[in-house]
Amino acid sequence: MTRSGSQVVHNRLDPHGTDEFGQVLPFRHRRGQLRLPATVIHTADASTEPADHLAQYEQEPAEPVDYRQRMLMNVIALAIVTLLVGAGVWIADTIADIQNDQDCVMQGRSNCARIEAPEPKRQ
């Protein structure tokens, strides 16, 4: 869009000669081009079960499943994930402490060391 004197000139073509520009295209349904698959209805008297066609993809396990080893691997995986999450939290906390110390120093303060107050004695 450019200004020419007091008149605004659009860079786009306006086929109707109005101040608005753009064109609305009509939406046409294209019947017959999109064919949806027909749904299969299984009746009660059907002799085959609906999942029989999946039987060709089933495989017998080569060896029986060792659930004890599987549970051991799950426990080890849980321990590793817990260790990684704990390490991530510790690193985030350490970075936050270092950032606070750096902010203190950047403000020009001379004593940025933390002061640990002793806990009051409970009677």
Residue 1's CB is within 10 A of a number of other CB atoms, namely 7
Q: What is the pLDDT along the chain (123 residues), one digit of tens a residue?
A: 544 455 555 555 555 555 566 677 777 777 655 555 555 555 555 455 556 677 777 777 778 888 999 999 999 999 999 999 999 999 999 999 999 889 988 988 888 877 788 888 887
Calculate ∠ Cα 74-78-81, nearest 5°: 135
Tokens 């004695």 belong to which residue?
Answer: 121
| Predicted local distance difference test score (pLDDT) of residue 55 | 72
Task: Answer for the pair 20, 14: CB distance below 8 angstroms, yes or no.
Answer: yes
Domain ranges of the chain: 68-108
Would you state the pLDDT for residue 110?
A: 81
What DSSP state is assigned to residue 56?
Answer: G
Answer whether 42's CB lies under 8 Å from 52's CB: no
